[in-house]
Chain A
C-alpha cells in the first residue's frame, strides 16, 4: 500500500518533469472552457505543441 503510493508519486513526478502530462493539463483546461469549443485530440495536441515550438524557439542553457 505504502509502496504503491510511492510508486504513484514517482510516476507523477517523472511525468511532470518530462512534460508528459501536458495533454492532461490541456484537457483539464479545455473542459473548463465554453461548451462546444474545439478540443484537440492527443495526436493533434502534440503536433500543435512541436509546431508552436518551431515558431517560438526557446534557448537552452550553456
Chain B
C-alpha cells in the first residue's frame, strides 16, 4: 500500500519509495488501539501521581524515585504530543528530500549515520558539566522550583530550541548558527550574534575552569588523578596515531583502565608525605596552571591531546550517566530538603544571591534551556542526519536526555544533608574556610531542620578522602559527595566513598578540560576571522604566528576572568556564576530569535508562538537578570551597587569592609565588580540588538506576507530509514521492501 505515493516528484522506479506516505503516517498516528490508549493512560497517571507527590504531599521527606517518574513521564508526553505537533505544523519535514549527509556525502564530514548511533553521538556532544553544576547550585531554593524548571523548561523551551536549530541548519547544508544569523538578520544582527557568541564563549570557559580550580584546590588526590589524565591522553593519542589507527574503542578501554588506576593511585599518593607536599596546590597557582595548560592544549595538534580526551570523556560520560540512573532507581534515596526554601523569596541565599525570579532560571541554564547547544545542533550533527524526520528524535529527544541528567544531578545534590550542602557551597568569605566558621555560619542561617555539627563536616571530609569540604564551591564537589553517597549504597559501601567522590571529580574535570581546550580553539578561529578583516594575513588559520597570537589573546581573556574569580574576596562562584547562566541563556535567546525570523519568512505565522513563547521567556529572564545585575541597589546582587559601596568605604578611609579584610582586597572588589558589570552591559546590549533585529525581520516578513526561504534547493532522496527509535508498522513494511532489493542501496552519494 505504501507504493501509492502522493509525491509530486517522480519516484525513481528502480527502488521502493524513500518515504512513508504522509497520509499513512497520519493514519498510523491517529489509530488508537486499546493497548496504545492503556499505555498512555498509565504514563499520564504515573506522571500526574509523581507530580502530586513532589508538589502537593508534604511529608518529612520525599523519595527520589518520584523525581525520576515525574521527569520520564513528562518527557514521554512532551515527546509524543508536543514535539509531534511542532513537527506537523511548524517544521513539516519531508523524507523525500535528501539531507546534506546524502546530497553532500563525502564519507567524512557529511555521512549518513544511523539515527540511534547519531542520538548517542549528539547527546555526548551536548552533555557536559553545565547540567551537572547548575542544578546543584539551584538546590538552595528547595527541590521544587528547580525540578519544575528543568522538566517543564526542557519540554517547552530547551528541546524546542535544539530541534528547531538542528532542523533549520540541516535544511541549509549544515550551516552554523552564526552564518544563519547573518543570512536571516542582516549585517547588524548577524555581527552582534557573532560577537555575542565569542564573548559568551570566553566567559563560559572561564567559569568552567573556575569550577575545576575550586574542586581541585587543596586536594592532593584530585590534583594527582586529574593531572594524570594528560599523560594518559598523550599516550592514547600516540597509540592511535602510530600504533593502531582507528582502534577507538580499544584505546578508550585502555585509557579508562588507566584512569581508574590514576584515581586509586591518587588515594595512595595523597596518603604519603611527599604526595601531599607535591600535589597540594593553592587556588592561584592552580589557576595559572590551567591557563598555561589551556594555551598549550589549544596549540597542540588535535590528534595528540584533544581527540583522545574526547574519546575518553564520551566513554566516561555515557557510562557514568547510565550508572547513576541505575543507582538512583535502585537506591531510591530520601530527600530531606524543603520543596521551596526561604531563599527563593528572600534572595539572600549564600550559594548564589538573588530571588527565584529571575535567578533560578539563569542558575539552571543547561538542562532546561542551553544556548550552547545551538552551536552543536548547527554544525556537526546536521551533517550526519540520514532522513529529515529523524531530527525530532535526535534534536528534541537528545535534549530530553540532557534534562534527565540535570534531574539526576539535582537529586544527588539534594540527597546529602542540607547543613553539609550549605557548608560546602557558602563562599570562604562567609565561612572563613574553617569547620568552626562553617558550623557557626550554617547554623546561623536559621534553617529549620538544619543542625550542623563539626563532626559531620570532618567525618564527611574523611569519608571522601579530602582534607576539608568547607567552602568547596562551584557545584562539582557537592555533586561528587552526592554521587558518592548514592553509589556507595549500590557498590562498595562506605569504604568506596572516597573512590566514588574522586571518580566524580575526575569525570567532571575531564569534560571541563576538553571544553576549555575546544572552546579556546573555536574562539581563536572566530577571533582570527575578525582580525582578518583588518589584517588579511590573520584569515589564514594555518599561519602559526597568527594562530599563537590569537590563542594567546583568547587564553588571556578567559584567564583574566578566571584569576578574578579565584582571588575574589566576595567568593568567586557566587558572584560569577550568574554571568555564566546569563551568557548561556542569552545565547539561547539569540538562537531562538534566529529561528523566529526563519519561521516568519517561511510564512507560518499561526504557529509562531511555538518559538515566540520560549524566546519571550528567555528574553525576559535574561534581560531582567542582567538589569538587576547592573542596576540593583542591593550590593549582594548589583555589581555596580557593590562597586559603589566598596569605593565609598575606601573613600571613607576604611581598611576592611564586608568580607574584604584589607584595602588591597577592597580594591580587588572594586575592580572585579566593574569588570563584571561591564560584561553584563555588553551581553545584554548585544542580545537586545539580536532580538530586536529578529523581531524587525519577523514584522517585515509579516507585512510582505513573504514565503521566501534561505534553504538549500530540493534534492530527491534515494535512501530510506525509519524516523524514531523504533520503526512504526508502515516503516517496517517499507523497510522490508528495501531489504528485499538484490543490491543494497548506497548510504548517500549521488556521484
Contact = CB atoms under 8 A, between A and B. Distances in A.
Contacts of B751: 32-34
Given A16-B114, A47-B241, A62 B306 contact: no
A50 to B, nearest CB: 4
30 contacts: A17-B120, A18-B248, A18-B311, A18-B315, A19-B311, A25-B111, A25-B747, A26-B107, A26-B111, A29-B111, A30-B107, A33-B749, A34-B751, A45-B245, A47-B245, A50-B241, A50-B302, A51-B302, A51-B303, A53-B307, A57-B518, A57-B521, A59-B515, A60-B514, A60-B515, A60-B518, A62-B128, A62-B130, A62-B515, A62-B584
A14 interface: yes
Interface of A: 13-20, 22-23, 25-30, 32-34, 42-43, 45-62
Contacts of A51: 301-303
Given A30-B107, A52-B108, A55-B542, 10 more contacts: A15-B249, A17-B117, A17-B318, A20-B248, A46-B245, A50-B302, A50-B303, A57-B521, A61-B376, A62-B515
B208 interface: yes
A46 B542 CA distance: 19
A62 B127 CA distance: 7
Contact of B372 (A13, A22, A52, A59): A59
Contact of B746 (A13, A28, A34, A61): A28
A61 B370 contact: yes
A58 B240 CA distance: 20
B125 A61 contact: yes
A8 to B, nearest CB: 14
Contacts of A54: 301-302
Contact of B379 (A17, A20, A55, A58): A58
Nearest to B517: A60
B18 to A, nearest CB: 17
B107 A13 contact: no
Interface residues of B, number: 66
A29 to B, nearest CB: 3
A42 B248 contact: no
Contact of A26 (B108, B121, B314, B373): B108
B107 A29 contact: yes
Contact of A47 (B252, B303, B370, B524): B303
Interface in B480-517: 511, 514-515
Interface of B: 105-109, 111, 113-114, 116-117, 120-121, 124-130, 201, 204, 208, 240-241, 245-249, 252, 301-303, 306-307, 310-311, 314-315, 318, 366, 370, 372-373, 375-376, 379-380, 511, 514-515, 518-519, 521-522, 524-525, 541-542, 580, 584, 746-749, 751
A32 B249 contact: no
Contact of B245 (A13, A43, A52, A53): A43
Nearest to A62: B130
A17 B121 contact: yes
B107 A53 contact: no
Closest 8 pairs between A and B when the two form their complex, measured CB to CB: A29-B107, A16-B117, A57-B521, A50-B303, A17-B120, A26-B107, A20-B248, A62-B130
B511 A60 contact: yes
A32 B386 CA distance: 17
A50 B307 contact: yes
Contacts of A19: 121, 248, 311
Contact of A28 (B113, B130, B747): B747
B315 to A, nearest CB: 7
Contacts of A60: 125, 128, 310, 511, 514-515, 518-519
A38 B38 CA distance: 57
Contacts of A29: 105-107, 111, 746-749
Nearest to A46: B245
